[in-house]
Amino acid sequence: MTSAHLRDPRFTGAFTAITTPFSEDGTTIDDARLAEQIAFQADGGVSGIVVCGTTGESPTLSEREYRELVVRAIELGHARELLVIVGTGSNSTAHAVELHRFAAGAGADASLSVNPYYNKPTQEGLYAHFAAIADAADLPVMLYNIPGRTGVTLGPDTIERLAAHQTIVAVKEATGSTDSAGEIALRCPDLALLSGDDGMTLPFGSVGGVGAVSVIANLVPHETAELCGLVRDGRLADALPVHQSLLPLCRAMFLETNPIPVKAAMALVGRDTGALRLPMTRATPATLATLRSVLAGLELLPNKET
């Protein structure tokens, strides 16, 4: 399946869910490293970046940090011709609408809006929540369906209803279910279906997926862009060996809660301090040992680490 049928074909391929680079003590955002990381993604050939998402530790950012990071990431991303998608989700609809409007005013290319968490709304509540966001600003919306973190699933029926809102253009599907992904693609063929789990990018491609919002792209943007491009273009047989080569890294990213492993891996390859903010803590020695082995197998470790 190609992207020609989509409502907005820009939202296909690989989108890197970038980490938020902190200083060694985690108290400030490292602007220079942010610029390096975004340049690394652009050089790797990804379609765009997602800032202030799960991988970016958005719940730990102050309001000021969030707004400054969004503005800076859009500036840096656009300078490198990347699409910039901004995480604007909240379990308060009014707050999500406020963040969505801010992202639109800051020049984002789309917002990433997650299922409301903790309060567990019904499907009708989910519909009303996302409909209010979609109608609040002239900015494309990528729905983010991740029941493992939010405690509630955005069902295919509800997504089909939401597809009537023309600003809703994509779904980041992090259910891990090809049944769910396939039904969404069948019911909403003009929405871009993106995998929210790196290991499911190819399986989702077999049922209508056109790319991924990726964690491993923080480390291997070129390979991730290659995989997502093949999936988007329907070349699934060609995508299989790429998928297989990346599977150990995909699995390693979830040895502990994201973004603990990816930040540890980025520190091992010299591209991040590895600092996280509480309640996230640094990777355990066992996780670090596995990460070193996987990174060595991909020839990503500096000589001193190998």
Are 301 and 269 in contact by the 8 Å Cβ rule? The answer is yes
Q: How far apart are CA 93 and CA 74, in angstroms?
A: 24
Active site residue 304: no
Active site residue 117: no
Token reading at 255? 């040895």
Closest by alpha carbon to 134, among 160, 96, 191? 96
User: Which of 117, 144, 263, 304 is the catalytic position?
Assistant: 144
User: Which of 66, 127, 172, 263 is the catalytic position?
Assistant: 172
Q: Which residues are the active-site residues?
A: 144, 172
